[in-house]
A and B are shown apart, each in its own frame.
Chain A
Amino acid sequence: MNPLLKYIVKRLALLPFQIWLIFSIVFLLMRAIPVNPARAILGEGASEEAVLAYEKFLGLDKPIYVQYIQQLNMLIHGNLGVSYQTLLPVWHSIANHFPITVEVALGGMAIALLIGWPLGAIAAAKKGTLLDHIGRIYGGLLASMPVFWLGLMFQLAFLGKLPIQGIASAWNVFPHVTGFALIDSFLWGGLPSLIDVLEHYFLPWLTLGLIYSGIHSRFLRANMERTLNEEYIKYAKVRGLDWWKGIIFNHAFKNSIIPVVALVALHLATLLGGALITETVFNIPGMGLRLFIGIYSDDYPIVQGFMVFIGIIIVLTATIADIIIAIVDPRVRYT
């Protein structure tokens, strides 16, 4: 068989196993919690009978392996359970909050690349100079900066100049259509409404973008460094091509970008973690905010369902990234 095809099949075959693994770990962890959920919901004053009855209602009276098989079966059918607090399906919360998180994460990623790639390209082109060292220090500083603190600093700096909480002003009450705030607001109130949402997204995007720009500038710098050592770059130099446009952009940048794109996909997972935390700083009603509400109110199905869902998203992007890398870089296929 074609080695590439074989690799893709092998990688895809691993996927269900990984999802099962994530589900099992999350399930077992959730059952390790010493708190009785029925007791937590009903409160300390509830009678023993009420707690037992509620346990039965939640299905917690069955042995743990029965619960495991039941929930695994539910997961296979795309059911993530029901929230203890709202008694609505977990899918309902995901449908409401996930699109917002996607907007936060992708906007942050776009800014990270817009800042990180030019920095990385300049650093590689000016290797060993002061500019390169400044770029490295910048990357290191941002890699060790707590994302929530940068958010707080922006809130301090832009207090009164830009909105620092939520995703829309009080007048901007667009209804839930697609779940994506950028689309829904435009459908409801046209451009002014969209601009209002963009203003609210600006600081969270900037926070995430700056934090992750350091990593991407490093990725690109490392890859361009490798490309710049290639023979065809020497040939291009000998031909007398213009350094910035001819060599750096047309030869080095374009050839370095493909492996970096796969790394970007792989890095979406890390960015997702940052996005969830950024949401809590800026009070943006995405998955992060909902997850922490679930955590503080001991809403186990929400926590379990969200974690499994995020896990599935992460292994999916990792698989796609691996396949892109295998397509681009033939060496991977034969390992």
Chain B
Amino acid sequence: MLSSLQLNRIFKRKKAQKLALLIAAAYVVIVFIMSILANYIAPYNPYTVNLNQIFLPPSFKHIMGTDYLGRDVFSRIIYGARYSLGASVIAVALALFIGSIIAFTTAYIGGYLDRAFNVVMDTMYTFPLILIAIMIAFVIGKGFFNVAVSVAIAETPRFYRVVRSSVVSVKNRGFIESARLSNIPLRVIIYRHILLLVIPPLAVMSALTMSDAILSISILGFLSLGIPPPIPEWGADLSVNRSALLVGAWWALTFPGLMILVTSFAFLLISEMYNEITIKGAGEI
């Protein structure tokens, strides 16, 4: 039995976790709205070059200063959310779809097919995500969708592993067998007994992968393998503004990076807090 003191602590912790989850989710919603309404929020056109106003420090006119071509950093960050977040969402959705489909079919069939896929996916999984993404981006070239696809392929093994381990753990349990014996159609078994079970861990994995996708896309952008300039992607903006180092224009390098950091952290927080609240439950003190 739990003492009232322990129960108190559980509730307190759950409260803190819910608060953190709420803040992170609110931030993510705000960034999404910001990216959709960029035309109305951004004070300047993010593409307008103004060579008379290179590297202006933050002021009331330009709250985050201007970059190496005199463009407004704040406007570029707001428009950048479209590309950085958009590509990440597409990447995660693709990876979720491909990984789950492969895992469902191969794990349900089992046998050599399952084993072969498992070795391939495990080998991919040991690779750093970013190296796979770099190589695929090199092969298929720059651009918005290409970057999303590169990151998606790199992330596929993660979803594969989550789904496969769930399917394998459930597949040979008694209730699946009795469902099969009572002539329930396969799609109903998969939907009712397997899919519903996989959804919570998949949701956690999706949020965690969003956090990594934002990082990977910014790294690809920084290495000029991603969304090409002059599109205001956060990582690419950091790369083209490297001359800011020489003149000490910290604002052109700090703010886009902070956006990457905070957005990626928000998704990580959502994944962890959701995991602790729903899956681990209150068993832990």
Could you list which residues of chain A lie within 8 angstroms of chain B, going by C-beta atoms?
A: 14, 17-18, 21-22, 26, 29-30, 32-34, 128, 140-141, 143-149, 152-153, 155-156, 159, 164, 266, 269-270, 272-274, 276-277, 280, 292, 295-296, 303, 307, 310-311, 314-315, 318
Contact = CB atoms under 8 A, between A and B. Distances in A.
B264 interface: yes
Interface string B262-281: 00110111001000000000
14 contacts: A17-B119, A21-B119, A26-B135, A29-B135, A140-B268, A144-B267, A144-B268, A146-B219, A148-B235, A277-B130, A303-B135, A314-B128, A315-B123, A315-B126
Contacts of B123: 18, 21-22, 315
A156 B238 CA distance: 13
B119 A140 contact: no
A144 B261 contact: yes
B120 interface: yes
Given A146-B222, A149-B238, A307-B131, A140 B257 contact: no
A141 B130 contact: no
Given A17-B119, A156-B250, A148 B222 contact: yes
Contact of A280 (B119, B120, B223): B223
A270 B268 contact: no
Interface string B113-128: 0000001100100111
A156 B127 CA distance: 31
B92 interface: no
A69 B257 CA distance: 45
A311 B268 CA distance: 28
Interface string B139-172: 1110000000000000000000000000000000
A148 B136 CA distance: 20
A21 B120 contact: yes
Nearest to A26: B135
In terms of DSSP, what is the predominant structure of the interface of chain A? helix
Interface size band for B: 35 or more
A164 B245 CA distance: 10
A152 B218 CA distance: 14
User: Which 10 pairs from chain A and chain B are nearest by CB?
Assistant: A273-B128, A149-B257, A144-B264, A144-B265, A318-B126, A273-B130, A270-B128, A148-B222, A29-B139, A144-B268
Nearest to A295: B138
Interface in B221-261: 222-225, 235, 238, 242, 245, 248, 250, 253-254, 257, 260-261
A166 B1 CA distance: 62
Given A140-B265, A269-B128, A152 B223 contact: no
Given A156-B253, A159-B248, A280-B223, A146 B126 contact: no
A270 B265 CA distance: 19
B215 interface: yes
A64 B215 CA distance: 36
B142 to A, nearest CB: 11
B245 A307 contact: no
Nearest to A296: B224
A143 B268 contact: yes
Contact of A314 (B127, B135, B253, B257): B127
B169 to A, nearest CB: 14
Nearest to A139: B268
B104 to A, nearest CB: 23
Contacts of B238: 148-149, 152
A289 to B, nearest CB: 11
Contacts of B139: 29-30, 32-33
A190 B41 CA distance: 59
B211 interface: yes
B127 A153 contact: no
Contacts of A33: 138-139
Given A152-B245, A153-B254, A292-B223, A269 B126 contact: yes
Given A141-B261, A153-B257, A277-B223, A310 B131 contact: yes
Given A18-B119, A156-B253, A140 B127 contact: no
Contacts of B235: 146, 148
Contacts of B253: 149, 152-153, 156
Given A269-B126, A307-B131, A311-B127, A29 B136 contact: yes
A54 to B, nearest CB: 21
Nearest to A271: B128
Nearest to A14: B119
B128 A272 contact: yes
A318 B285 CA distance: 34
A307 B127 CA distance: 10
B128 A155 contact: no
B274 to A, nearest CB: 14
A286 to B, nearest CB: 14
A46 B12 CA distance: 73
Contacts of B285: 128
Most buried by B among A14, A33, A152, A156: A152
